[in-house]
A and B are shown apart, each in its own frame.
Chain A
Amino acid sequence: MPGLKDVKDKITGVKKTAQITKAMNMVASAKLRGAQDKMESFRPYAEKFAGTMSELSAGMEDANLPLMEIRDVKTVEIVIVTSDRGLCGSFNSNIVKVVEKLVKQYESEGKTVSIVTVGKKGAQAFKKSGKLRKSYDDIMGTFQIFNAREISQDITETFLIGESDQVDIVYGKFHSVAVQKPEREQLLPIKPVENDAESAQEQNGATGSYIYEPDPNEIMEVLLPLYLNVQVYHAMLEVGASEHAARMTAMDNATNACKDMIDELTQLYNKARQAAVTGELMDIVGGAAALKG
């Protein structure tokens, strides 16, 4: 049986841990709100963008745009978006697992894989694999659209000079506060927007067809890199929100575990105290009996 003092120290320790995890939970929930606001303010931009893209591709003839060129895939680049910090449950390791599986799959098809990471956790996971081409660390906390632009410019460059023939992005999609799942999307070559060409044409019919300046193909050429920015930024926003949601859940679990532990330890403490009191009483009674006798 552990000593009274040992148990008491342990209780104090666990209580302090519970305090920290509880504080982290509250910080995460405040930050989650911020991240969700950020997502919310991005939505009108993204929606409008997608709308115009589908309208444009409806009015566009087949063009050989370099960013849409489908080549024989020899090298695949995977962009991994994770958080910079840990203590958010299995959020990052889930993403890493998905990527590892993907890498294996591509390699079994005889393709070479190179990796670009956004967020420290991904970089840490793939540092030793020898596949890491570039990593963007410490930007997940305060990222802006220009961070996304930097990343998309970089991957576009490698795609255009032929060092990669396909670019995928894997990130933690925010489904709800309780659910975040890794998601894979293809960034390059850009797939033609699956439109409802008909509905776009209907709209055009209602408003009269557009005057394009310059012509649709040239507009598309300007829009595609921007579209890539939108996708990368979107992934970063999703990860931003997911990270905080995951941390909230993880910290809530930790706080609960601490509470259970405190309960158990308190019971143990009381038992030990009881035993000590009983022991002392026995001594006193025994001593008194001896005096009397």
Chain B
Amino acid sequence: MAQIHLEVVTPTGPVISDDVDIVTAPGVGGEFGVLANHAPFLSTIKTGTLSFTKDKQVKYLMVSGGFSEVSNNKITFLVESAEFGKDIDVNRAMLAKERAEKRLAQAQQAAEKINRVRAEAALQRAMARLKAAEKARS
């Protein structure tokens, strides 16, 4: 099967650079899949789970905001953070989720827009982490 080169780059360095069969990513307009020799494509990425298949094995990554670019049979993700599902500390993510929920509840009372937005983003990240970790385990 023809393969596509996947690269995930974060500000702290590249996370993965490998030839894979299929990539599924959380685009802003919905999830999308990319196979080999895809047409040039540019999309923004929201916080969520990215998965790719190689040698019939599926791997999951948690990614937070950024964008992806497909060109020349190569897909590049530029995201602010990316973690492999199997490396995620579930307990920490759970705590972060609870913290974010609490903050969100407080922010809603105080009607502070900035804090609410931030808490929402934190909650999304925590949930994406948990989801990626869960998928990697199952």
Using a CB–CB cutoff of 8 Å, the interface residues on chain A facing chain B are 38, 41-42, 44-46, 48-49, 52, 56, 144-146, 149, 153, 157, 204, 207-214, 218-219, 222-223, 226, 229-230, 233
Contacts and interface: CB of A to CB of B under 8 A. Distances in A.
A206 to B, nearest CB: 9
A213 B29 contact: yes
A208 B41 CA distance: 10
B10 A45 contact: yes
A226 B81 CA distance: 12
Nearest to B80: A145
A52 B44 contact: no
Interface in B80-96: 80-81
Contact of B39 (A49, A211, A218): A211
B124 to A, nearest CB: 14
A219 B11 contact: no
B126 interface: no
B78 A213 contact: no
B interface, over-half SS:
strand
Contacts of B27: 213
A142 B29 CA distance: 35
Given A42-B12, A145-B81, A208 B39 contact: yes
Contacts of A146: 80
A212 B14 contact: no
A44 B42 contact: no
Given A45-B9, A153-B118, A213-B27, A207 B71 contact: yes
B106 to A, nearest CB: 18
Interface string B90-129: 0000000000000000000000001000100000000000
B18 interface: no
20 contacts: A42-B11, A45-B9, A45-B10, A48-B9, A52-B42, A52-B78, A145-B80, A146-B80, A153-B118, A204-B40, A207-B72, A210-B41, A210-B69, A210-B71, A213-B27, A214-B28, A222-B67, A226-B67, A226-B80, A230-B11
B42 A149 contact: no
A157 to B, nearest CB: 6
Interface in B54-83: 65-67, 69, 71-72, 76, 78, 80-81
A146 B81 CA distance: 9
Contacts, number: 87
Given A145-B12, A230-B11, A211 B72 contact: no
Given A52-B78, A145-B12, A157 B114 contact: yes
B43 interface: yes
Contact of B43 (A208, A212, A226): A212
Nearest to B113: A157
Given A41-B12, A56-B42, A209-B40, 20 more contacts: A41-B11, A42-B11, A44-B9, A48-B76, A49-B78, A52-B67, A52-B78, A145-B11, A146-B80, A157-B114, A211-B39, A212-B43, A213-B27, A213-B28, A213-B29, A213-B43, A214-B29, A219-B43, A222-B67, A226-B67
A207 B67 CA distance: 19
Given A44-B9, A45-B11, A226 B42 contact: no
Contacts of A145: 10-12, 80-81
Across the A-B interface, the 4 shortest Cβ-Cβ residue pairs:
A41-B13, A213-B43, A222-B44, A145-B11
Given A42-B11, A48-B76, A219-B67, A211 B44 contact: no
B119 to A, nearest CB: 13
Nearest to B66: A226
A149 B78 contact: no
Given A42-B12, A214-B29, A207 B40 contact: yes
